[in-house]
Amino acid sequence: MDGSGLRLGVIACAVLEIELEALSRGLDNIAHVEIMEQGLHNEPDKLRAELQKAVDRVEALDSVDAIVLLYGLCSRGIEGVVAKRCLIAVPRAHDCITLLLGSKERYAKYMDENPGTYWYSPGWNKCHIPPSELRFDTAYKEYVEKYGEDNAEYLMEIEQNWMKEYTRATYVDMGVCDVEDDIRFTRECADWLHWKFDRQHGDPGLFADLIKGNWDEERFLVLKPDEKVKMVADATVMTAVPA
């Protein structure tokens, strides 16, 4: 679908704010932007509720014709979000890393070849403390203050268990900001965790086309009013169903 002539309201996770600011410069089709708190995908029901509130706010604006969600499925948190007046465009992606890499195919190929990858990026490093010595020390101090030293030791064992699933720290960036310090930090994280380090150069094509309104069916799903996203178990990632 050609959405290039529409005035867009963009709703984005904070982890993509840096890229959005860079790629939207000079675009006059973006009428409104809302940045959402990072981490909502950890509670999909909360993400769904907050996104719905944002959609309601944005489509109440006369200046907006259609809404862009800078989200993937994100733990299925976007399922159920619906607009009454506006179109909603969303990338066919499981999470935001697809938007940074440029395609769901590249993301799938990388994960197939490199299972156990934990992703780092400008936004992820800014918005939360990724697996690292800093994260370990911060969590340990919080647990000691709240529960005492003995309980903190036990809680840290639980905290670290999930990290055993990972073996690689991969930093991905589009080159839209200075990342030298970020890359150094990510290398330090990988060394401390005894993981491999990798850097992937992102591709802005998917991200840019989404916010420009260049919505082909292969890469994007465009919801009509009173339609919602439903995850599907094939390469299309998602489909539209009646709300």
> What's the pLDDT at 5?
92
Confidence category of residue 150, pLDDT binned at 50, 70, 90:
confident
The residues near 33 (Cβ < 8 Å, ≥ 6 apart) are 9, 10, 11, 12, 20, 24
Cα–Cα distances in Å, from 77 out to 26, 40, 96, 164, 191? 31, 8, 13, 26, 33
Confidence category of residue 54, pLDDT binned at 50, 70, 90:
very high
> What's the pLDDT at 39?
87
> What's the pLDDT at 124?
95
| Domains present along the chain, CATH in parentheses | 8-100+204-242 (3.40.50), 103-201 (no CATH)
User: Whole-angstrom Cα distance, residue 115 to residue 157?
Assistant: 23
Confidence category of residue 239, pLDDT binned at 50, 70, 90:
very high
Residue 17, helix vs strand vs coil: helix
Per-residue pLDDT averaged across 14-43, rounded? Answer: 95
The residues near 106 (Cβ < 8 Å, ≥ 6 apart) are 98, 203
Higher per-residue confidence, 150 vs 182 = 182
192-205 pLDDT per residue, tens: 999 999 999 999 99
Per-residue pLDDT averaged across 177-184, rounded? Answer: 96
Cα–Cα distances in Å, from 153 out to 64, 116, 136, 192? 52, 25, 11, 19
> What's the pLDDT at 24?
97
- Rg from Cα positions in the chain: 19
pLDDT higher than 90, residue 49: yes
DSSP type of residue 224: P
> What's the pLDDT at 160?
82
pTM: 0.92
3-18 pLDDT per residue, tens: 889 999 999 999 999 9
